[in-house]
Amino acid sequence: MKHVRLELTANGREREIHPMYDLLANHSSVDRAKTTHWNASGGELGIMHFVYGDLTAFEAELADIDSVLDYELTRVDDDSFDAYLRCVTGDAAGDLFETLTRGRLVVVHPIEWDPDGTQSIAVVGSPGEIQAVADGVPDPVECTVREIGGLEKAAEAATAKLSDRQREALESALDLRYYDAPREASVEDVAPEIGCARSTAAEHLRKTESKLLHSVFRG
């Protein structure tokens, strides 16, 4: 089995795949994003994103996309929000998701959306299955293999699920030896290091721990 990082881009033609693809890749309301989970079935797609950008402007764009059947946006802070979307996929987007999930191939979440609209996707599978993805993405999407490794690379993806704020909280807690046994710091010590209230620091750490534990023990 191989762990491979793929780079996908439609070079500005993302709307030909799906309007939501175009919104995430090209609209000024999105600085960058992470796709954290999805489920595609029967011509519909349920998908969750963590978006760095302007929630108000993003929601205004959603109102003009007929293929978005339902959505919920939850603000995380002034510059980021969670987005749940239920969409009609259409033929091109359906082909893309089918290609990414064919056979026994595993997509390692999250999928990263860079500021230039490029998607960075990590997958684990046999060389033949991975090659089939690289060759099978629908036009106008282009797929480039950027990194190849063994399964040890997949373990690194656990921390990729964290937001920047959660990673900051975790690193501060580790530096302060919050996780040592016996513990040498408290949440009260972590909070000023990351510039927030005790309750907020505690919430960041709980969410961070939850994501890491679910990633390790439940994939």
Per-residue pLDDT tens listing for the chain (219 residues):
777 889 999 999 999 999 999 999 999 999 999 999 999 888 999 999 999 999 999 999 998 999 999 999 999 988 999 999 999 999 999 999 888 887 788 888 889 999 899 999 988 888 888 888 888 899 999 998 876 765 555 555 566 667 888 889 989 999 999 988 788 899 999 999 999 999 999 998 988 887 776 655 454
Q: Are 141 and 176 found together in one domain?
A: no
List of residues 6+ apart from 113 with CB closer than 8 A = 24, 25, 30, 32, 33, 34, 35, 119
Q: pLDDT value at position 217? A: 46
Q: Are 151 and 179 found together in one domain?
A: no
Question: How many CB atoms sit inside 10 A of residue 100's CB?
Answer: 20
The CA dihedral of 206, 162, 193, 198, to the nearest 10 degrees, is: -30
Its pTM stands at: 0.68
Does the N-terminal peptide bond of residue 127 adopt cis geometry, omega within 30 degrees of 0? Answer: no
Q: Are 123 and 213 found together in one domain?
A: no
**CA–CA dist 192, 187 (Å, integer):** 9
**142, 157, 172 — which closes off a domain?**
157
Q: pLDDT value at position 133? A: 85
Looking at the DSSP assignment, which residues form a beta bridge with residue 47?
38, 85
Q: Are 111 and 144 found together in one domain?
A: yes
Which residue in 100, 42, 48 sits closest to 74, CA to CA? Answer: 48
Q: Are 32 and 74 found together in one domain?
A: yes
Strands laid side by side in the 30-41 sheet: 68-77, 80-88, 44-53, 30-41, 106-113, 119-125, 2-9, 142-149
Q: pLDDT value at position 150? A: 55
Q: Are 152 and 166 found together in one domain?
A: no
Q: pLDDT value at position 159? A: 66
Range of the domain at 36: 2-157
Q: Report the SS3 class of residue 166.
A: helix
Q: Hey, which bits of the chain come out as E strands?
A: 2-9, 30-41, 44-53, 68-77, 80-88, 106-113, 119-125, 142-149
Q: Are 106 and 181 found together in one domain?
A: no
Q: Are 170 and 118 found together in one domain?
A: no
Q: pLDDT value at position 8? A: 94
* Opening angle at CA 91, ends 88 and 92, nearest 5: 105
Domains of the chain: total: 2
Q: Are 41 and 127 found together in one domain?
A: yes
Q: How far is CA 188 from CA 77, 162, 202, in A?
A: 21, 22, 9
**134, 157, 180 — which closes off a domain?**
157
Q: Are 169 and 124 found together in one domain?
A: no
Exposed/middle/buried for 176, CB within 10 Å: 0-12, 13-18, 19+?
middle
Q: Are 166 and 143 found together in one domain?
A: no
**140, 157, 174 — which closes off a domain?**
157
Q: pLDDT value at position 130? A: 85
Does the N-terminal peptide bond of residue 182 adopt cis geometry, omega within 30 degrees of 0? Answer: yes
Q: pLDDT value at position 149? A: 65
Q: Are 108 and 198 found together in one domain?
A: no
How far from the centroid of its chain's Cα atoms is residue 199's Cα? 26
Which residue in 120, 43, 123 sits closest to 89, CA to CA? Answer: 43
Tokens describing residue 186:
């408290």
